[in-house]
Amino acid sequence: MAVSLDDDVPLILTLDEGGSAPLAPSNSLGQEELPNRNGGSYAVQDSQTSSLGLGGESPPSSPTGHNWEINYQEAAIYLQEGENNDKFFTHPKNAKALAAYLFAHNHLFYLMELSTALLLLLLSLCEAPAVPALRLGIYVHATLELFALMVVVFELCMKLRWLGLHTFIRHKRTMVKTSVLVVQFIEAIVVLVRQTSHVRVTRALRCIFLVDCRYCGGVRRNLRQIFQSLPPFMDILLLLLFFMIIFAILGFYLFSPNPSDPYFSTLENSIVSLFVLLTTANFPDVMMPSYSRNPWSCVFFIVYLSIELYFIMNLLLAVVFDTFNDIEKRKFKSLLLHKRTAIQHAFCLLISQRRPAGISYRQFEGLMRFYRPRMSARERYLTFKALNQSNTPLLSLKDFYDIYEVAALKWKAKRNREHWFDELPRTAFLIFKGINILVKSKAFQYFMYLVVAVNGVWILVETFMLKGGNFFSKHVPWSYVVFLTIYGVELFLKVAGLGPLEYLSSGWNLFDFSVTLFAFLGLLALAFNMEPFYFIVVLRPLQLLRLFKLKKRYRNVLDTMFELLPRMASLGLTLLIFYYSLAIVGMEFFCGILYPNCCNTSTVSDAYRWLNHTVGNRTVVDEGYYYLNNFDNILNSFVTLFELTVVNNWYIIMEGVTSQTSHWSRLYFMTFYIVTMVVMTIIVAFILEAFVFRMNYSRKNQDSEVDGGITLEKEISKDELLAVLELYREVRGATSDITRLLTVLSQMEKHEQNTVVFLGRRSRTKSDLSLKMYQEEIQVRVPLPMLPRPHLSSCLGVGLPADEQGLPSGSFPECGVGEAPHGIRASTGTAARGDWDAGLGGAWAQEPLSLPQHEQLSHMALLLEEEICRTCLISYPETEPQVQWEQQET
């Protein structure tokens, strides 16, 4: 049974689960179903359709065209799964699952998911105990809650339809979300039926709906890292608590005989006092009663603080930092492996029977229509050309590995002139050329630094001489006008000398422009006496940040700070999620118990005192204010928890609550302190890791520009554009794509150009820096001859009849990523020949290949093996045995 090797026939066609219904209309004549050849969950089909054109893609209306469209779509899904770090077992398995997958993976669905989660969280403002101004009736907020939960049910139903029951149950986060949903549903119905609220501690679990949102991937990553850092953290924490208990017992025996010492009167008080002392909130108060009787008692507290606070707490940070650093490195490697595995899956779906060694532009263009639908035809071709480092008609696997980085580039035509003023008349050209030389000179830059420094000193002296009251006079200070004029002239000169585009391309120039603009608005506010806008004047000192450009270390600090802002936002949101959960618990147990004069019998009664007494003819209020730190609603709870995070006098709030409830209430506050200590330690470790990484990168790559983005330059000829235009007309591409190509061609004809140069730019990411930083650790460990060629051909299926393709299950994407191909056993010694023969099912040995087929297959196998081995990322530890695959004769 011969098979024609036509370019428009994909090697792998996707079928519905069971092989009975294709995902798109396809020619089923002469086709035989084969199991799972693309590494995903679709069944695979051997196509025997003849060529429909000159080695090109079939029209979309043809069966083969539909097959290619499905391959494009599935390859795009694989790339998205690699980019989003989605597990491959969640890959859609059939046409129904694909429809649900596409519905659940669009921004409208993501916005619905996020809005529902926020609605459920914001209901705590309206539910009892509610914020007084936002209180809603039980019927209203219970109905809103049921509505939001029904939307969550709809989301989970779509996920169930997409994943299937078995995969749905395997997905742990989804099962946790489902369990919380059931509990929330039952409680909401009970509240609606009873028309009264009850103790609902489970509201603290609502944050799970927010964590599961697509837009909160950073929060999930932070939570995962927190849980991964817990084992070493808990080890050091147990050591800390062990010493605390030892010192508590010792302190009880030493200081309990003193009746004037309430801190060590019982063992419980001793433990609590030393726990608070760990935060230094009660020091030296906790020491003074014993110190008054025996000055040598200070040794106890000095030794305790030296061990617990200065040694073990810093050891805790060091251990967490080391663990966090290791987790960051392993996470980078695993993400890189995951992306490359996804790329290999996509590559296997895009190669054709005539050209199995690479991806043609037709297939690449079809992929990008699904993967980057907003990308224009010009940008698709530029992306293809940027990827094609080998300058061949086909994209090899090695070239295709850069798809994520190159697809993120934004392409613009490069200007032929060096400066924006090159085409101006000679007189104007010389003027602007002189301005350009001036603003780029070191003398001009240092003069502006001097002006900024003088301005900073002037602001400091001016502020020091001000008295309390109205700080803004009715007259504009002359110094304000002088310095603003200098900054305005600098801005004008830079825009004139560099051009608007080059000026705005610098982050520091954008900062200078913003500060100068705000200073001008402040001048208007002072000149026209607009009091509501006087706060703008306070922003003047921001200009001093420009001085940090003078020293490289300062630049690294600021650059690191700006790089950390997105990640710090996700860490802040993670902390707010912990706040929300613990605030709900605090509201349920401690609502309404703190009020003026509530704690008169406790040791902290003065902090809660509220008394009126007369002094002469005046009534004086003696107010402690700590009764304001309560759990009466969600907003007050957040403020109280932030005060507990700062740990200044936090024990006063704890003792006030304890005096109104029981001693067990201290567990809540101690648990909160430990939780915030974990999160804060992770935040500090993250900042340290980012700063140390940048310092190490700067030392290792001293001649590398870290601050700039990534720029790629590609030249396109007129003939290339005509060929691309002809292709789009042939396959009936979008009218907008054809129009844009015609526009580029008309511009080239207008300027009589045969070629045009495009620049692709994107910002440099942490992944780019990590790839260069760890390039020595990302090395080849699997030798070239170790990957069995028959397995690669099982993926490609080139030149083999349907009955000769009974190769081991699995596919090319599993090769070369550190795990054994399916059907082939990994070993540290000799091979088991029976396993190999059984995996082949005897088909390989039964009917030998013809000589042309064998030569083609061997050449392809060598080529793809070399591609894989060059990019293998697994670095085995030295203590592990080197795993080698069995080498077989073809």
> What's the pLDDT score for residue 820?
32
Q: Which domain-ending residue is among 669, 684, 699?
A: 699
Question: Which residues span the domain enclosing 458?
Answer: 428-550
Question: Stretch 136-150: mean pLDDT, rounded?
Answer: 91
Q: In the structure, what pLDDT confidence band is assigned to residue 571 with cuts at 50, 70 and 90?
A: confident
Lowest model confidence (mean pLDDT) among 23-37, 395-409, 671-685: 23-37
Looking at the domain assignment, is residue 17 inside a domain?
no
Instruction: Kindly state the helix (H) or strand (E) to which residue 762 belongs, with its residue range.
Output: strand 755-762
Query: 312 with 253, same domain?
Result: yes
Give tens-digit pLDDT for 99-111. 889 898 888 999 9
Structure tokens at 790: 């028959």
Structure tokens at 10: 């994909």
Q: Out of 402-406, 615-619, 699-703, give the one with best mean pLDDT.
A: 402-406
Q: In the structure, what pLDDT confidence band is assigned to residue 682 with cuts at 50, 70 and 90?
A: confident
Query: 445 with 417, same domain?
Result: no
Question: Stretch 372-389: mean pLDDT, rounded?
Answer: 86
> What's the pLDDT score for residue 501?
81
Whether pLDDT at 868 is above 70: no
Whether pLDDT at 881 is above 50: no
Q: Out of 231-245, 376-390, 783-797, give the one with best mean pLDDT.
A: 231-245
The DSSP annotation for 203-246 comes to GGGGHHHHHTSGGGHHHHHHHHHHHHHHHHHHHHHHHHHHHHHH
Looking at the domain assignment, is residue 65 inside a domain?
no
> What's the pLDDT score for residue 616?
66
Q: In the structure, what pLDDT confidence band is assigned to residue 711 with cuts at 50, 70 and 90?
A: confident
Lowest model confidence (mean pLDDT) among 440-444, 567-571, 749-753, 864-868: 864-868
Q: In the structure, what pLDDT confidence band is assigned to residue 704 with cuts at 50, 70 and 90?
A: low
Looking at the domain assignment, is residue 758 inside a domain?
yes
CB 131 within 8 A of CB 635: yes
Q: Which domain-ending residue is among 333, 363, 378?
A: 333
Give tens-digit pLDDT for 315-327. 988 888 888 888 8
Whether pLDDT at 884 is above 50: no
Q: In the structure, what pLDDT confidence band is assigned to residue 637 with cuts at 50, 70 and 90?
A: very high
Tell me which residue of 570, 641, 580 sits closest to 120, measured CA to CA: 580
Question: Stretch 640-652: mean pLDDT, rounded?
Answer: 89
Tell me which residue of 231, 229, 243 sits closest to 310, measured CA to CA: 243
Looking at the domain assignment, is residue 54 inside a domain?
no
Looking at the domain assignment, is residue 493 inside a domain?
yes
Quick one: 889 exposed, middle or buried, by C-beta within 10 A (0-12, 13-18, 19+)? exposed
> What's the pLDDT score for residue 796?
35
Query: 205 with 240, same domain?
Result: no
Query: 190 with 225, same domain?
Result: no
Question: Stretch 555-566: mean pLDDT, rounded?
Answer: 74
Query: 790 with 856, same domain?
Result: yes
Question: Stretch 507-531: mean pLDDT, rounded?
Answer: 79
Looking at the domain assignment, is residue 114 inside a domain?
yes
Over 430-458, what HEC string results? HHHHHHHHHHHCHHHHHHHHHHHHHHHHH
Cβ neighbours of residue 855 closer than 8 Å, sequence gap 6 or more: none
**Mean predicted lDDT score pLDDT of the chain:** 75
> What's the pLDDT score for residue 356?
80
Q: In the structure, what pLDDT confidence band is assigned to residue 34 with cuts at 50, 70 and 90?
A: very low
Question: Stretch 820-830: mean pLDDT, rounded?
Answer: 32
Query: 203 with 141, same domain?
Result: yes
> What's the pLDDT score for residue 702?
60
**CATH code assigned at 250:** 1.10.287.70
Question: Stretch 70-96: mean pLDDT, rounded?
Answer: 88
Query: 572 with 676, same domain?
Result: yes
Question: CA 637 to CA 124: how far, in whole Å?
Answer: 11
Lowest model confidence (mean pLDDT) among 295-304, 599-608, 876-885: 876-885
> What's the pLDDT score for residue 604?
79
Give the chain's domain count: 6
Whether pLDDT at 69 is above 50: yes
Give tens-digit pLDDT for 408-456. 888 887 776 667 777 778 888 888 888 889 988 888 888 888 888 888 8
Please name the residue that has the structure tokens 């526009």: 743
Query: 418 with 310, same domain?
Result: no
Query: 657 with 569, same domain?
Result: yes
Looking at the domain assignment, is residue 283 inside a domain?
yes
Cβ neighbours of residue 266 closer than 8 Å, sequence gap 6 or more: 252, 256
Give tens-digit pLDDT for 452-511. 888 888 888 877 776 655 555 566 778 788 888 888 898 889 888 888 888 887 778 888
> What's the pLDDT score for residue 879?
33
Query: 716 with 687, same domain?
Result: no
Query: 485 with 597, same domain?
Result: no
Looking at the domain assignment, is residue 78 inside a domain?
no
Query: 140 with 160, same domain?
Result: yes
Q: Which domain-ending residue is among 550, 571, 595?
A: 550
Question: CA 614 to CA 31: how far, in whole Å?
Answer: 100
